[in-house]
Each structure stands twice: as C-alpha cells, then as structure tokens.
C-alpha cells in the first residue's frame, strides 16, 4: 500500500504540478479546472476516468458546466500519497496544463 507523503515530499511534489494545492481541513490535494465549454470539461473527465480506473485510484470531483473541481486523497492511507501526485500529474497532462 502507498504511504502518506511527508510534508516536505508533498510540498516538493505540489511544486511540480501547477494549480494543485492543499485542501483546507482535509488531508487531500485539489484543483479547479476551467475549460472552454461543457464539451471540453466532460471530455477531460472521460479521459481522466480511464486513467483513474487503470490506476485503481479514483478522484472525488464535481462538474458544473465548464468547471471541474477535483479532490484527491488515498483513503486507504488516510492522506496524500504518490498515487495522488501521479493522478494529478496525469490530469494536468490531459488538460494540457503547462503552468498555473
């Protein structure tokens, strides 16, 4: 099972994935993606869902029109692990994020 990242490892990892931040009041990371329209937002969710299923690591997320709010944590570990960082990195790539 994946281990929770140390505060330092987590800070460093977040530095490499633009737009992702700590969630207040919960051991999780999050990001709000805003797309051009619903079609782009749902296309992102579809592609991300396939990656998540392959990883057996699934996002908590919410879509309203062109906005997708994502929260990632590893429930089994009770916090943020490398799996969350991997999925966050994949989501940025899918959304073609190059900077925040």
3-state secondary structure labels for all residues of the chain: CCCCCCHHHHHHHHHCCCCCEECCCCCCEEEEEECCCHHHHHHHHHHHHHHHHHHCCCCEEEEECCEEEEEECEHHHCECCHHHHHHHHHHHHHCCCCCC
Which of the stretches 25-33, 36-44, 71-79, 92-100 binds ligand H2B when contact is defined by CB under 6 A? 71-79
Residue 33 or 84 with smaller CB distance to ligand H2B:
84
Contact string 6-45 vs ligand H2B (x = CB under 6 A): ----------------------------------------
């Amino acid at each position: 099972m994946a281990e929770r990242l140390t505060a330092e490892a987590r800070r460093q990892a977040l530095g490499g994935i633009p737009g992702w931040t700590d969630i207040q009041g919960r051991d999780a990371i999050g990001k709000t993606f805003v797309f051009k329209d619903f079609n782009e937002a749902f296309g992102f969710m579809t592609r991300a869902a396939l990656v998540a299923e392959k990883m057996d690591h699934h996002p908590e997320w919410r879509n309203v029109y062109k906005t997708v709010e994502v929260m990632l944590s590893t429930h089994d570990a009770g916090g943020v692990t490398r799996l969350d960082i991997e999925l966050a990195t994949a989501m940025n790539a899918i959304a073609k994020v190059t900077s925040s």
